Amino acid sequence: MKRWTSTVAVAAALTLGLAACSDPTADRPADTTVSWPAPTGRLDGVSLTIWAAQNSNTVPKKVIEGFQAATGASVEVVTIPDPYEQGIQTKVATGDKPDLAFWQPTASMLTAINARSNLQPLTDAPWLPAMAPQLRDITGLLDDTRYAALVTSPAVEGVYYNKEVFAAHGVTVPPRNFDEMVALARQLKAKGVTPFYEMGADRWATQWWVQVQLADAAKSGLWERINTGQEKFTDPTVLGAIKKYKALVDEGLFNPDIKTAKFEDQGAALLDGKAAMVVQVNSFFGQLQAKADTATLDKRIGFFPISPSGNVGTFIPDQSNALVAFATGDAKREAAARQLLAYWMGPGYPDFLADRNTVSLQTAVPDPAGVPQALRDVHAALPASVGSMQAQAVANPDLFLNLADMITGTTTPEQAAKATQDQFAQLAKAAGAPGF
């Protein structure tokens, strides 16, 4: 009898445990209409949490100051250590959610955080009519529902170059396409200059070299074909770009310490003229801004987008560019989170831009006076740019990791392409993409 009761007790406890441990992020019905509170309405006693990464935790400083003063709410920024996206996904999977978070606003990353059940839709956001028309719907959407608010100009992959190095070697016009850039690199190398600088040890920038080569293919539907399994990373288009990158490294057009160089080394090298060019995104320029003032940057650093066919950029909105609002289940705080976004992109926007010294996304709000020219050039390249892998593919495989492995010499371009394709298929299958 005793034995019987204890068996029942254990079984009951197990069932209870199983129920308790089921997925905490169960689906909730998507709201059809979203109400938007007035940006400066009172919110006394409401406290909001924003998750930010190490490189974005100071972004909202000015906005929060203004919002707290205007509404009486209290807003706390919590820094989630790098790797940021992994940390967030893990926390959200275990049921931990902030009110707002910085998040890469691309479809693949919105899928990765299960936007449909975890995020608030930002339909009919009040700031949308004020946005520059060509930037309004550039990103932040998943299946035609808006989940992310773009606050700064999305990053563009392109070439940052040292103007003084170019001038010293008689280069007056930046290269007009990828082949011209390689030809210029060979000239510079012959004169004893390190043409390109890559950060093999920090790995993540390796993918830009492949992605800029794919810009034209992306324009003609490369990612749609990859998304549906009609084309693979191992097919000639992507594999060819990987091989070209490897060939340029083998040719000696990069810094000799490519395997051990880090992000900071890359910034210092370009700023000091130890290298002529760096293929990078906006966060690289952010590093330069931390190292030098606008006058120095305008004098030394330039930017041009690049693709095989011409000066076409590849845009890649990143985590520091946008915010998402979480569906926490607390209606009052959810509304307050939307209100903060409305304040940010509304009354608080000019102060925010001035504090961050960055370009405006709204036609009626002018750029602050101190924005460096290179950043304006990056922003100007945006409307003509094509989407990156992150922006257009249904899943975001670790292409950079496989390329970094290839640079250290442990894998071949073919192996790097295959590893990327395998992982892409695995992620696409998990995301429920048809054909995988």
Partner 1 sequence: MWFLVPAFAILLVFFVLPTLFNFVYAFTDWSGFKSEINPVGFDNFADLASSGTLFSALRITVVYAALVAVFQNVFGFALAVLLERDTRLNRVARVFFLIPVLMSALAVGYLFQALLKPDGGVNQLIGAVARQPFDHAWLADNTWTIVVVALIHSWKWMGLSMLIYLAGLKTIPEDVMEAARIDGASRWRTFWAVRSPLLAPAVTFNVATALLGSMNGFDIVQATTGGGPARTTEILNIFIYRTFGQGLFAQATTMSLVLFLLVALMAFPVIHRLRKREEIL
207 near 215, Cβ under 8 Å? no
Shortest distance in whole angstroms from residue 191 CB to partner 1: 26
Cβ distance to partner 1 smaller for residue 367 or 422: 422
Q: Is the Cβ of residue 8 or residue 10 nearer to partner 1 in the bound state?
A: 10
- DSSP per residue, 132-183: -HHHHTSSSEETTEE-EEE-SPPEEEEEEEEHHHHHHTT--S--SSHHHHHH
Position among 37, 87, 229, 308 found at the interface with partner 1 (CB under 8 A)? 87
Cβ proximity to partner 1, 13 vs 364, nearer residue: 13
Q: What are φ and ψ of residue 228, in 5° steps?
A: -105, 5
CA nearest to 121, candidates 112, 135, 110, 109: 110
**Interaction of residue 90 with partner 1, rule CB under 8 A:** yes
- Cβ 246 to partner 1, closest distance in Å? 14
Q: Which is nearer to partner 1, 87 or 273 (CB)?
A: 87
Q: Which residues contact 118 (CB under 8 A, 6 or more apart)?
A: 25, 92, 97, 326, 327
Asked if 405 touches partner 1 (CB under 8 A), the answer is: yes
| Strand 275-280, strand 155-162: pairing | antiparallel
Q: Is 419 in the site for partner 1 (CB under 8 A)?
A: yes
| Beta strand pairing call for 141-142 and 100-102 | unpaired
Q: Minimal distance in Å, beta carbon 105 to partner 1?
A: 17
Sequence letter at residue 60: P
Binding to partner 1, residues 27-86 (CB under 8 A) = 27, 83, 85-86
Q: Considering the rule CB under 8 A, would residue 17 count as an interface residue with partner 1?
A: yes
Q: CB of residue 323 vs partner 1: minimum separation in angstroms?
A: 19
Q: Is 209 or 400 the residue whose CB approaches partner 1 more closely?
A: 400
Q: How far apart are CA 257 and CA 259, in angstroms?
A: 5
Site string for partner 1, 236-275 (x = CB under 8 A): -----------------------xx---------------
Query: In the complex with partner 1, which residue's Cβ is closer, 245 or 343?
Result: 245
Residue number with CB closer to partner 1 (360 or 420): 420
Between 282 and 388, CB nearer to partner 1: 388
Q: How far is the CB of 289 from partner 1 (least distance, A)?
A: 24
Provide the token pair at 181: 């850039």
Tokens matching residue 36: 């938007």
Nearer to partner 1, 5 or 172 (CB): 5
Contacts (CB under 8 A) with partner 1, residues 100-159:
111-114, 117
> Mask of contacts with partner 1, 298-337, x by CB under 8 A?
----------------------------------------
Give the nearest distance from C-beta 237 to partner 1 in angstroms. Answer: 23
HSE (side-chain half, CA atoms, 13 Å) at 236: 0
SS3 245: helix
Least separation in angstroms between residue 249's CB and partner 1 is 14
Closer to partner 1 by Cβ: residue 150 or 416 = 416
Of the residues 30, 34, 70, 93, which one makes contact with partner 1 according to CB under 8 A: 93
Name which position in 29, 329, 432, 434 contacts partner 1 (CB under 8 A): 432
Please say whether the beta carbons of 108 and 396 come within 8 A: yes
Q: Are 108 and 394 in contact (CB under 8 A)?
A: yes
Task: List alpha helices for 169-262, DSSP H.
Answer: 178-190, 206-213, 215-219, 222-227, 236-250
The region of 8-16, 166-174, 209-217, 340-348 touching partner 1 under the rule CB under 8 A is: 8-16
Distance from C-alpha of 238 to C-alpha of 417, rounded to nearest angstrom = 8
Among residues 331, 380, 401, which one has the least CA distance to residue 31?
331
Upstream peptide bond of 83 is cis (omega within 30 degrees of 0): yes
The C-alpha atoms of residue 212 and residue 156 are separated, in whole angstroms, by: 10
Single-letter code of the amino acid located at 317: P
* Cβ–Cβ under 8 Å, residues 327 and 124: no
Residue 211 as a binder of partner 1 (CB under 8 A): the answer is no
Under the rule (CB under 8 A), what is the footprint of partner 1?
A: 10, 13-14, 17-18, 21-23, 25-27, 83, 85-87, 89-90, 92-93, 111-114, 117, 201, 203, 259-260, 398, 401, 404-405, 408-411, 419, 422, 426-427, 430-432
